[in-house]
Amino acid sequence: MFNLKGKTARVSSSLILTGLLIATSACSKSTIAQTNPYRNNTTNSGTNTNYSNSTGSSYGNSYDSNSSYGGNYSDPSQVSSLQNNLPTGSVAGRVMDSFTRMGVSGARIEVSGIRPAITTTTDASGNFTLPNVPQGKQVILVTKKEYTSLVGNSNIIVDVAAGNTTTAPQISMIPDKASVANGFMKAFDGFVYPRGITMNKNNSELFVVDVVGIGGFFNYDRAEVKKINSDGGVIGSFGSRFVSTDLKSIDLFRLLKKSTGIGVDEGGNVYVADTGNNTVKKYGPTGQYVSQIKKQFSGVIDVAVMTTGDVVVSDPGNSRVVLMDSNLNIKIDNIMGSSSSDGVRGVTTDNADNIYVIDSAAKAGEVIKKYDKNGNKLSLQFGIIGGLESGYFNNPTSLAVDSRNGDIYVVDTGNNRVQRFNAQGNFLSEFGQFGAENGSFNAPWGITVDNQGFVYVADSKNRRVEKFMPGRFGQNTY
């Protein structure tokens, strides 16, 4: 009887203990539901998959498909309260323009989900420091009028350490104007009548032929070459001095006159189509006079240099395009052969040393012609003279090839615009119109494209060079 009673007593104690555990669990669930009515209590195989343990951050240390920064849903009013009670640190970083690589000033920086808001703005160099940021993983939002975040705001995450300054990952932003092919970037002033333009792609230096004149007896459209960097800063000038830079020779009879075209070789030597003197002049990398090339030219318009050092000269006065070797001996007197034309204007080459020629007197469909490096005519030809439609030109003067994708840019001077075609001659886009405002032209002449696709146009009658965005971000953007 004693044993039976003892056994009965033990059963009763077990039942009492089980009841207490059930009651405790019920109370616990009731408390959670009251604290956060938004929490999802769905279970899977007895395990609540929506719960995570938070350590130092209200976002938690787990990630789910409904959040870019992880953690479970919490009542927003409680998040700010929790965050504001955490130890704090600072976040420092820099916001950069993805194209110019310059700092973006005035961008608004904010910590996501914190109230009252923790914000600051970038300084003139694009730098910022956010103080009093709660410790843990925080999402940083970056906004700026006319800019879009390159990486996406939800991906800018910093792990803030209390009492320390945490450096944010590099933040790049794309200017909205870059979404339009060849959007205007900036204008370089300080010119009188800029004509030809080219770039030394080894160091991004630009060379611009500027017809300056000096008035009085010497007012005969004297020209000079201005060397500038890709941001428009003047590095130097040459070609218009009466005395050589070393004071050892008189350069009076070497002055450039009504010069139009210009090219540069792999060694940085500069070749100028000296139109008014019917010659091509060669200068060294620092602007020192080297030689004068006389091949019975008449009214030379443009000059281009291949990677091999061979030189191409458009000579409309003789209805020809001349190909010379690197020693400046004539290889081919006229690559146009029986298609000789006094309408030849701009010439340029691509990375494969193919030659492109503008023939403003050509019949329909043959204004732009392409030849290989040996002067053999290739199948590519396109363009019609007259009209405003795409692919039509009015006094085209210059052209350039984008080395990244083969896009061909043609300066349509009479229509005050630039047209862009792909490597097969198909029209892609155009930019510019008559006017003096940014992005407009008044008798544009020369054009060049750098290794990143930025386009530079000599806007003659507006006395400036304009810089434009690339036509494509990559091979297949447009």
pLDDT digits (tens, 9 = 90+) for 56-105: 333 333 333 333 334 444 444 444 555 567 899 999 999 998 777 789 99
pLDDT digits (tens, 9 = 90+) for 311-322: 999 999 999 999
pLDDT digits (tens, 9 = 90+) for 165-200: 999 988 888 776 666 678 898 999 999 999 999 999
Q: Which residues pair with 167 in a beta bridge?
A: 92
DSSP 250: B
Residue 271's CB is within 10 A of a number of other CB atoms, namely: 25
Whether 221 has a pLDDT exceeding 90, the answer reads no
Q: What are the E-state strand segments in 298-349?
A: 302-305, 311-315, 320-324, 330-332, 344-349
pLDDT digits (tens, 9 = 90+) for 5-64: 444 444 444 444 444 444 444 444 433 333 333 333 333 433 333 333 333 333 333 333
Q: Which two tokens stand for residue 418?
A: 């630039």
Does the CA dihedral 376-260-385-296 come out positive or negative?
negative
Is 113:57 a contact under the CB 8 Å cutoff? no
Total-model pTM: 0.66
9 or 274, higher pLDDT? 274
DSSP of 392-404: EESSEEEEEE-TT
- Give the domains, in start order, of the chain with CATH numbers: 76-178 (2.60.40.10), 180-468 (2.120.10.30)
Q: Which residues pair with 291 in a beta bridge?
A: 282
pLDDT digits (tens, 9 = 90+) for 419-452: 999 999 999 999 999 999 999 999 999 999 999 8
DSSP of 442-453: SSEEEEEE-TT-
Indicate the burial class of 43 (C-beta count within 10 angstroms; 0-12, 13-18, 19 or more).
exposed
Distance CA 158, CA 74 (A): 20
Q: What is the mean pLDDT of the chain?
A: 81
